[in-house]
């Protein structure tokens, strides 16, 4: 199959992509978070192609992308007022809500669950594709399962060229990490995945938020979890990653004393001079966490190279968007963290 590369700025692109979606094909779509691998979320055969292309475990459910809050009730029931409050405040934007699913949503889309995740993305061309195709787009991140997510059309082609019908090129993703996921099916709202909408922002609307264990710790493969996707190895380059925490100076001393040929250092722009001779790669400015979230996956993909032995990574501290960056990096490192303050 020849994969079409469609430009988001071409006025014909939305109609071309929508036609492919209506024909049950896979189309990679730009969003503000990461590129998604989109298909008609109500068509089981089309959804099955997503799982096949990504090598995604069947029990890992997909997010349905919709045009706006008025579409929530088409695919969900028992919708609490707080879902509409969140949509009003954060949609279109990087927030996904888990709600009870209507029967029209196939179990293949929900990974067998009776709940479904919905989100309205902040990309005009993607919303237009959804509107023209007349169906919600099931769209997981457009990477091969387990690998770092895709934040450019080139990343998508690297993973899927020749295997999907088209990629809509909308440039680099602004946020760069996947959406925040909040589960609204229990009495208390539960954060299943941190992202561009921060826990602090959610608290302002909800007044209450439980952080799911999967956000902060490694989950066993056999454990029953709220977000099945969170138990799988994620975002990882081929070689091991170890996070080195602590002050700039202590971390540099630790890394430089352990560094061996074939290792790489993933650090903040401000730290590059500390790692001269260690082939450092910066993923953004520590002083501006949005540059870190936007740059993280491109850097992890660059480091996905079998000739690299080990990666020492620096991780931002604190809440807000830094919380999402920490979550992705910790998962890429399988929660392997060394505290340089405690090491000599």
Instruction: Give contact residues for ligand AMP (rule: CB under 6 A).
Output: 60-61, 63, 98, 110, 113, 115-117, 140-141, 178, 181, 192-193, 226-230
Pick the closer one to Mg ion by CB: 265 or 300: 300
Piece in contact with Mg ion (CB under 5 A), picked from 49-57, 134-142, 204-212, 258-266 = 134-142
| In the complex, least distance from residue 141 CB atom to ligand AMP, rounded to whole angstroms | 4
Pick the closer one to ligand AMP by CB: 35 or 275: 35
| In the complex, least distance from residue 3 CB atom to ligand AMP, rounded to whole angstroms | 20
| In the complex, least distance from residue 338 CB atom to ligand AMP, rounded to whole angstroms | 27
Q: Are strands 263-267 and 280-282 parallel, antiparallel or unpaired?
A: parallel
Select from 109, 93, 100, 102 the least CA-distant residue to 38.
109
Pick the closer one to ligand AMP by CB: 180 or 282: 180
Report how far apart, in Å, the C-alpha atoms of 113 and of each of 60, 105, 109, 193 are.
10, 10, 9, 18
Q: Is 40 in the site for Mg ion (CB under 5 A)?
A: no
| In the complex, least distance from residue 140 CB atom to Mg ion, rounded to whole angstroms | 5
44 neighbors 110 (Cβ within 8 angstroms): no
Q: Is 141 in the site for Mg ion (CB under 5 A)?
A: yes
Q: Provide φ and ψ at 106, rounded to 5°.
A: -65, 150
| In the complex, least distance from residue 153 CB atom to Mg ion, rounded to whole angstroms | 17
Select from 230, 241, 223, 189 the least CA-distant residue to 327.
230
Q: Provide φ and ψ at 98, rounded to 5°.
A: -100, 125
Residue 106 is classified by DSSP as -
| In the complex, least distance from residue 110 CB atom to ligand AMP, rounded to whole angstroms | 5
Piece in contact with Mg ion (CB under 5 A), picked from 137-145, 150-158, 253-261, 302-310 = 137-145
Max distance between CA atoms of the chain, in angstroms, equals: 61
Q: Is 180 in the site for Mg ion (CB under 5 A)?
A: no
Pick the closer one to ligand AMP by CB: 156 or 227: 227
3-state class (DSSP) for residue 18:
helix
Can you tell me which residue has the tokens 């890394």? 255
* 295 interacts with, out of ligand AMP, Mg ion, none, CB within 5 to 8 A per kind: none
Q: Are strands 241-245 and 27-29 parallel, antiparallel or unpaired?
A: unpaired
3-state class (DSSP) for residue 322:
helix
Pick the closer one to ligand AMP by CB: 39 or 308: 39
Which residue's beta carbon is nearest to the bound ligand AMP? Answer: 229
Q: Are strands 95-100 and 115-119 parallel, antiparallel or unpaired?
A: antiparallel
* 98 interacts with, out of ligand AMP, Mg ion, none, CB within 5 to 8 A per kind: ligand AMP
């Amino acid at each position: 199959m020849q994969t079409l590369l469609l430009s988001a700025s071409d006025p014909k692109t939305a109609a071309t992509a929508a036609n492919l979606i209506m024909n049950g094909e896979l189309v990679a779509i730009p969003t503000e978070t990461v590129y998604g691998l989109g298909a008609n979320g109500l068509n089981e055969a089309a959804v099955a192609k997503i799982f096949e292309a990504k090598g995604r475990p069947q029990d890992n459910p997909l997010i349905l992308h919709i045009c706006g809050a008025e579409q929530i009730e088409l695919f969900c029931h028992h919708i609490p007022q707080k879902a509409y409050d969140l949509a009003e405040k954060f949609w279109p934007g990087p927030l996904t809500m888990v709600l009870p699913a209507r029967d029209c949503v196939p179990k293949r889309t929900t990974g067998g669950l009776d709940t479904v995740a919905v989100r309205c993305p902040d990309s005009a061309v993607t919303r237009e594709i959804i509107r023209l195709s007349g169906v919600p787009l099931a769209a997981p991140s457009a990477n091969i399962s387990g690998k770092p997510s895709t934040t450019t059309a080139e990343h998508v082609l690297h993973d899927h060229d020749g295997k999907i019908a088209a990629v809509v090129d909308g440039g680099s993703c602004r946020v760069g990490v996947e959406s925040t996921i909040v589960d609204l099916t229990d009495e208390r709202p539960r954060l299943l995945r941190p992202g561009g909408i921060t826990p602090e922002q959610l608290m302002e609307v909800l007044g209450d938020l439980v952080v799911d264990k999967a956000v902060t710790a490694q989950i066993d493969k056999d454990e029953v979890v709220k977000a099945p996707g969170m138990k799988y190895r994620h975002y990882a380059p081929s070689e091991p990653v170890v996070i080195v925490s602590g002050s700039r100076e202590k971390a540099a001393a630790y890394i430089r004393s352990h560094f061996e040929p074939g290792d790489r250092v993933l650090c903040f722009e401000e730290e590059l001079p500390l790692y001269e001779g260690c082939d450092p790669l910066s993923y953004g400015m520590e002083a501006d966490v949005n540059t870190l979230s936007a740059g993280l996956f491109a850097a992890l993909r660059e480091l996905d190279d079998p000739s690299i032995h080990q990666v020492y990574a620096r991780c931002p501290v604190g809440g807000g968007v830094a919380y999402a960056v920490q979550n992705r990096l910790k998962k890429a490192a399988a929660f392997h963290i060394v505290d340089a303050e405690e090491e000599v």
